[in-house]
Amino acid sequence: MSFTADHIIGVIGAGTMGRGIAQIAALHGHRTVLVERDEDTLLAAREQLDHFIQRLSAKGKISDQDAVAAFGNLHFSTDLSAVKDAGLIIEAIVESLEVKQSVFKQLEEIVSKECILASNTSSLSITSIARALEAPDRCIGLHFFNPAPLMKLVEIIPALQTAEACTMACTDLITAWGKVPVVAKDTPAFIVNRIARPFYSEAIRIYEEGMAEPIDIDRAMTQKGGFRMGPFALMDYIGHDVNYKVTETVFEAFFYDSRFVPSFSQKRLVEAGYLGRKSGKGFYDYREDAEPLISTASDQHLQDIADRIIVMLINAAYDALHYGVASRDDIELAMTKGVNYPKGLLAWAADIGLQECVDHLDELYDFYHEDRYRCCARLRADAVNSSTSS
């Protein structure tokens, strides 16, 4: 099984993600059928895709001819049966298991036996989506990041039932589309959204304990950590409704493991309707008359904050490695290409020194006596091995 440009790609859902995925497929020469149940949304998607593709040619990123061809590859429909000849269908509809299962069942009745059925879900189990199918071995997760045309990473998630050939065909196709594929075990939040949790949760914890203000913590992570955006600015940008929901879902999916516990500060922001940039207020105030904020934290304080959040991220990366969520290389690629981390977390641990990371986590654990600060067994073992081998 392998894909060529002759294969038709079906995309279900013309929201944020569906549009981006359709754009990628069309630009790579596939006849692409975008299906959306809401007519106005479909029209808006058509206009936006036309605009985006024209902009690419105006900026000289593609030729005028390629722009015309790409837009010509796009077909729009409100009828699910429009994807009947597709070789691959990528679903990007509402994040609900029942709705996704129902759409996958309908698709199975429409398409050929060879057609691969993929979901772009961020948090649902691919195995449980596949369960709805007569032939679950053709079901897979293809998790693109937002904005899909720009973000290089795609997490490929085979369900327990997925055929090896299906995973290989999707990996090859994603590579041919100029993306970076990483294979993730079908576990909650896959790779990126699992490992990145402490970026937000430890930052909020530091703030809630009164150790620093959001502006200081953001400064620590950008200036000392080298991240493009600080955690509070990023949460305000994503929107607290979205970010809080992901945290809550991950917490539940990990059987309420205290490492993933959501925060009251963020819950209250959601309750107040302070959703971040989009509502004019979140952790920061975005209104025109808002007082500019100044961080007065010392250099050492900023370093301590960054070190603490980074060591928690390293621990999460080691945990994912320990439980075989992905290979060492894929964990590194996922965090650098999926969320633009300045360095792979496993390489970062080696730069800091594995034993230093263990000691830092043990210090936090000794102080708090909370499970969230437990050091991953793999990190501890690797620290011992690296000290005996050197």
Ligand X SMILES: NC(=O)c1ccc[n+]([C@@H]2O[C@H](COP(=O)([O-])OP(=O)(O)OC[C@H]3O[C@@H](n4cnc5c(N)ncnc54)[C@H](O)[C@@H]3O)[C@@H](O)[C@H]2O)c1
Q: Which structure tokens are listed for 264?
A: 């009251």
Cβ proximity to ligand X, 145 vs 227, nearer residue: 145
Task: Express the helix, strand and coil content of the chain in percent, nearest 5 each.
Answer: 55, 10, 35
8 A C-beta contact, residue 346 and residue 312: no
Shortest Cβ 376–ligand X spacing (Å): 26
Q: Nearest approach, Cβ of 188 to ligand X (angstroms)? A: 13
User: Which CB, 38 or 109, lies closer to ligand X?
Assistant: 38
Catalytic one of 73, 120, 193, 315: 193
Q: Using CB atoms, what's the residue nearest to ligand X?
A: 15
For the bound state, the minimum distance from the C-beta of residue 213 to ligand X, rounded and expressed in Å, comes to 28
Token pair in block for residue 98:
């029942």
Look-up: residue for tokens 């065909």? 169
Task: Write down the catalytic residue from 120, 122, 125, 201.
Answer: 122
Least spacing, CB of residue 36 vs ligand X, in Å: 5
Torsion of CA 182, 185, 186, 192, to 10 degrees: -50
- CB nearer to ligand X: pick between 1 and 82: 82
What's the rounded Cα separation, in Å, for the pair 356 and 217? 22
Q: How far is the CB of 19 from ligand X (least distance, A)?
A: 8
Distance CA(160)–CA(87), nearest Å, equals 21
Q: Could you give the 3-state DSSP secondary structure of residue 315?
A: helix
Longest dimension (CA), the chain: 65
**Of 93 and 130, CB closest to ligand X:** 93
* Residue 193 designated active-site: yes
DSSP run (H or E) holding 24: helix 16-27
Active site residue 143: yes
36, 91, 155, 213: the catalytic one is 155
Helix pair angle (240-253, 264-272), 10° resolution: 140
Specify the residue, 120 or 162, whose C-beta has the smaller distance to ligand X: 120
Q: Which of 143, 315, 332, 360 is catalytic?
A: 143
Cβ burial, residue 209 (10 Å; 0-12/13-18/19+): exposed
Q: Does residue 369 have an active-site annotation?
A: no
* Gap between the Cα atoms of 122 and 374, Å rounded: 26
Shortest CB 308 distance to ligand X, Å: 27
Residues that bind ligand X (CB under 6 A): 12-18, 35-38, 41, 92-95, 103, 120-122, 144-146
Q: Which is nearer to ligand X, 37 or 185 (CB)?
A: 37
| SS3 (DSSP) at 14 | coil
- Rounded to whole angstroms, how far apart are CA atoms 266 and 272? 10
Buried/exposed code over 225-235 (b: 16+ C-beta within 10 A; e: otherwise): bebebbbbbbb
Asked if residue 309 lies in contact with residue 221, where contact means CB atoms within 8 angstroms, the answer is yes
Residue 10 or 230 having the CB closest to ligand X: 10
Which two three-digit tokens encode residue 74?
């796009």
Catalytic residues: 122, 143, 155, 193
